Chain A
Amino acid sequence: MAKQITTEDIKRIARLANINLSPEELETFTAQIGDILAYVDKLSQLDTKGAVFKSQTDLSNIFREDIVEESLSSDKATQNRPKSSKKGYIAIKSVLNK
């Protein structure tokens, strides 16, 4: 039995996902996500007793050897980021403003 999705649930999910929703959007998504979950809930009718968790692929144990490869240059690594007054760093608005 799926739990009824409320606007509070959607608010929380939006907050965790760092998304701002307008009151209208909140309305819309509450209804839409509720419908989607109700539809997906059909899956719970399946008898999954004895089923084994399968991954997305039949592959397993794909590793790399512990070998150092060349990294990007600092210029290249930071080229699409805001310019920083501190050399080599990526600068953003302080996250300590609370």
Chain B
Amino acid sequence: MSAAVDRYLALQKELVLPGRGLSWIDALRNEGAHHFKDVGFPTMRDEDWRHTNVRPIQKREFTLGNSAQDELDNDSLSKSALTGLDAYRVVFVDGRYCKALSSLDGLPGGVTVESLAAAVAADTDEVRETLGSIAPKHRSGFIALNTAFVDDGLYLHVDDDCVVDKPIELVFFSTDTAEQLIQPRNLFIFGNRSSVQIIEHYVCGQGSVYFTNAVSELLVQDSAVLQHTKLQEEGDKAFHVGGVFMHLQAGAQVVSNNIALGSLIGRTDLQVALKAEGASCDLNGVYFANGRQHIDNFTQVDHEKPACKSNEYYKGVLNDRARAVFRGRVVVHQDAQHTDAQQQNKNLLLSADAEVDTKPQLEIYADDVKCSHGATVGQLDEAAIFYLRSRAINEATARSLLTYAFAADLISRFSIPAIRSRVESVLSSKLFGGSQMEQLV
């Protein structure tokens, strides 16, 4: 279906994107366009997309080039706000930075927050050198599509030694303009020994059909400490493809929380490269899907240098006809002696029609390493349900309690209370249609 590809490429030529005329950004976009032309949308023949059919995305004619909105009825935005979250807030409406709705008062001086569009136009060395250098160019047509249209998103720079006291929440809010393609492009640079918490939060108004195709690139420099939470709560008719790509330098420590709750088809590519000694990452992931939702998490950790650690733990709960895909790739490069890489994926199916494809994939080219992986797919334990019922707990409560218990150890890893409670309440409302769980937790 190259017609779809051609249509996007034609659109790309028409749009006046920020910084046009600067040779490096033109070259970056053109490279994206060329690659997109070559590979197009992935198909199920591609190994990395074997279980996820993106034809529903491909066949729609999404529009691009949304105009900036400085106003928004604040109701729809506040509805999606995380209750009790004390954070700096950067708001993007349909992919465009919206200063009026953002709140950055009190942000430490060592932090620069800017729209990527402005940062590109400003043509600094840092942006020029970093943008496009972390996201793997040839990973999929979606990254290429995003790159062809590099437009707006967040540019964040944190100075060396800067400790940010509160999380910085990026709200990607999609209005109800139907059939639009929103392509945030985010660039984060965390200086040496800095310490920051980021929340990438994808939400929408009423829930029309739209497509988010986001790419985030994160450079985490020596001994920086980062917590990155992606909270995907797109509308239930929406499509979401998002890439989160990180480079970790010596001694950098990252906790990634990847939470997929929304969208009809949702795919996240999370790729962490441990590029220097002593870097470490904890990758926590959770997905709850119901109805006909399809949630795909494709993760890759590259141990490139010695003595790095990675610990990945993903859990999913599926109901109805929902489907999930987990791919956990760990590559231990030849140099990477004393690697410690752990990976686990556990799934709970609440209905006979739910399905999961889970595949750990270890590639080890070094010899002195400690690696393990495991994957499970199970149902609720009937013996446990009977046991609880014999203690006067009704069946519905017993089931929700056991489901909650399944997810609890993962949820407890989310250190921001507002994130935990959002995940808990979505678990309860999505899978049990109501308030039951609230009494439990």
Is A bound to B? no
B-to-A contact residues, CB < 8 Å: none
A-to-B contact residues, CB < 8 Å: none
